[in-house]
Amino acid sequence: MADGGPPVKKARLTKQWFEENLCAIQTPEEVVPELATKFGDIPEETLRGATFTEVKDMLHEVTDAKKREQVGEASAVLQRLDDLQKGQQDLRNRVLELRPNTDLTATPATRADHRRQTAQVLRLDEGDETVLPSTVLKALAKAKSEAEVNAAMEAFLQTLKPEHFLVNCEHFDWTANVGTCDFFASRCYVERQLKDQKKQRKGTLYGIPALLDSVSAVYEGKLKLMPRDEDQIFKQLNATTATHGLLYDKNGFTLLQVAGQQGQEKALQKIWYGRWNSKGVKQLFQEQFRDEPFQEELLGKCLASSNTQMLGFLGKGGNGRVFAVKRGRQKMALKILKSKSDAELEVGAMQKAYEAKLPVVQPLGAAVQVVENGSYFLMKPVGQQVTKEFARRNVPRILNTLHKLHEAGHVHGDARIQNMIIGPRNQLLWVDFLQTRGPLDESKIQDIKMLCRSLGVPANTLDKCTDFSPTNKDFQHWVQEHLQREQ
């Protein structure tokens, strides 16, 4: 550094600097340590005594080697990316083998376009009529959230299927990979409570479908409809037997009509686009929302034939489904089966078991056929469902209830706690009775195993058990022990 002057900036030891200045250096010894430090791949001993030309060649060789190394690393990265792309393509091919019609690159818009290839697309012209009451239109105009849109539309949605329950389910997922919509229409549902009960609207029913094959329509509200909204409601239509799904916002609607089997991707038959003042919108809704799935139609006919009103879903057994109903003030259970002959056999067997004072419900009257594949009969009492928590606290009572059937020579055939109720006098009763008479020891063991599995005993644990005596205290204790382990 010069006295009083600015510091001298040192030149960077780069390949270019050496190429430009190497020939001007008279004493290689002056730069050997710096060269050895900068280019660590060249030993200092090699540099000492080397000519300028040799040093220059060495620098070129080191630089070229580093370039080759970088190229090799880049090639390895490219090969890895290529391998990943091939693996991704193999996965795509495997998915397409399992689901040949799947478009793995689809977006909500392209999926919508694909669905429309075989569908009839109808756009309603604007007109002077409106399907919505003025109070609903005013509430929609003020809505600033989806919840406010749904609150405004709820009363109107109820008019689309007046004989069905309109159930709000926007806060409850139905099942895995299905998500939820905002409302569904059904003749029965399972009640749910919001975590924050202050947010529950007075008069609104909250819950989930009791049975996915008993959903007549699904509804989804938005502030502004987008292509992805159609994808979501299409999932609901695929998961249920519903044939119609209604998307709506403040200004208009999209109505989808589908056909196909529940649990599979259905075919879009028709799709209507319209505004609330579109021409013919009233007639459109009246016509389209008349349809309902077979199970819903059957349930409606059974309720009408028996002159009863729906109270709730009780359970689904091996050969039918049971609902709580009422006629006036009298509460009863309504069981629906496909076959009238099966219904008659069950009524006869249950009547004999009831007269023998066995723990079964009492049938009320004969079996009635309402359609070719639908019959019903009534029974009492309704009682309360046996929950798993109750059953685990009362294992001896549960097992003894089955033993009473076996002792009288009956085999239940579907002995699960879901087919039991707690009667008005706290007695346990069977409501689903696939009885078989005779000394069928193996069938009785299967009854006991089925009952234990419904309580929560693992199947592989039951396979290790050799003594199935429901009244034996050791066996009862063994069942309780394994229930505790499962918890």
Residue 86 phi, psi (nearest 5):
-65, -40
Cα separations (Å) of 70 from 13, 16, 64, 83?
Answer: 21, 19, 10, 20
Dihedral sign from CA coordinates of 127, 133, 139, 144: negative
Q: Does the annotation list 335 as a binding residue? A: yes
From the CA atom positions of the chain, what is the Rg in Å? 38
Helix (H) or strand (E) holding 422: strand 420-422
- Cis omega (within 30 of 0) for bond into 209: no
Quote the CA–CA distance of 75 and 71 in Å, as a whole number: 6
- Cis omega (within 30 of 0) for bond into 381: yes
Quote the CA–CA distance of 346 and 341 in Å, as a whole number: 9
Quote the CA–CA distance of 287 and 257 in Å, as a whole number: 12
DSSP 163: T
Residue with tokens 């409106």: 130
Quote the CA–CA distance of 214 and 299 in Å, as a whole number: 9
Q: Which of 42, 276, 265 is nearest to 139 (CA)?
A: 276
Which residues is 394 bridged to in the sheet?
A: none
Largest CA distance in the chain: 123
Mapped to the 3 state alphabet, what secondary structure does 70-92 carry? Answer: HHHHHHHHHHHHHHHHHHHHHHH
Beta strands at 436-437 and 410-411: parallel, antiparallel or unpaired = antiparallel
Quote the CA–CA distance of 349 and 319 in Å, as a whole number: 15
Residue with tokens 């000519």: 51
Quote the CA–CA distance of 367 and 305 in Å, as a whole number: 12
Give the pair of three-digit tokens for residue 436: 């078989």
Burial of 18 (C-beta count, 10 Å sphere; 0-12/13-18/19+): buried
Please enumerate, by residue number, every residue annotated as part of a binding site for ATP.
Answer: 335
Please enumerate, by residue number, every residue annotated as part of a binding site.
Answer: 335
